[in-house]
Amino acid sequence: MNYFQPESYTVIVADGTFPQHEVPLSYLKNAKRIVCCDGSASSLVLSGMEPVAIVGDMDSLNEDLADRFADRIFRDENQDTNDLTKVVEWCRGNNYRDIIIVGATGKREDHTLGNISLLAEYAKDMNVVMVTDTGILRPYLTDAEIVTFPGQQVSVFSIDPDTEVTSHGLKYPLTRTKITNWWYATLNEALGDSFFLEFSEGRLIVYQKYSSFSAL
């Protein structure tokens, strides 16, 4: 489930629960660069890693870290967007388009839901995934064959409720199904080494749970 070439991607650390699982930690340790929301910088430093940039309004950055990383602070006080989007926009402006987001879930459910839904916006011009302590979320804007393994737990979410989705290779098939609520196409299961999602328009987000072996 490794969507990027080794050491070619940027990891964004959001200000949710800092990763504990080996998969997001592995992405962090092998990243070409790490960029933090201001509130996540302290957790990253405590883990033994450093950011190349800290982006945000700096209301959550303590004074010691502000002094230590003064050369890599990028202040963004725009209140019309959230902290994660500020970091994504900074990466876009620096032409960093292969993005792995960690630490975007936990702490507050409203932040979690908002961050997940934003994947569909970021995907318009970026290759982006969100990696959590239980699985990986990836947005899709067109038909896709998705690599998996037999028995992997899969959930499909639609940002646009009028989108008709057909699946091939899932235990509970979707046939021109309109996913009108976020629960509707959850808790499915892959039958083989890949499955296919077919939809003419709209935006989907797919969640794939790690195996017990936690392989990338």
The 10s digit of each residue's pLDDT in 114-164 is: 999 999 999 999 999 999 999 999 999 999 999 999 999 999 999 999 999
Residue recorded with tokens 């309109």:
178
Cβ of 200: how many Cβ atoms within 10 Å? 11
Longest pairwise C-alpha distance within the chain:
56
165/47 Cα distance (integer angstroms)? 41
Q: What is the pLDDT of residue 212?
A: 60
List CB contacts of 191: < 8 A, sequence separation 6 or more: 150, 169, 170, 171
Query: With 80 as the cut, is the pLDDT of residue 2 above it?
Result: no
Residue 38 and residue 83 in contact, taking contact as beta carbons nearer than 8 Å = yes
Residue 139 and residue 122 in contact, taking contact as beta carbons nearer than 8 Å = yes
Query: With 90 as the cut, is the pLDDT of residue 29 above it?
Result: yes
Query: With 50 as the cut, is the pLDDT of residue 94 above it?
Result: yes
Q: What is the pLDDT of residue 200?
A: 85
Q: What is the pLDDT of residue 3?
A: 58
Spell out the domains of the chain, with CATH numbers in brackets: 10-137 (3.40.50.10240), 141-209 (2.60.120.320)
Q: What is the mean pLDDT of the chain?
A: 92
Q: What is the pLDDT of residues 55-88, one digit of tens each?
A: 998 888 888 999 999 999 999 888 778 889 999 9
Q: Among residues of the chain, what percentage have pLDDT more than 90?
A: 83
pTM of the model: 0.92
Q: What is the pLDDT of residue 214?
A: 47
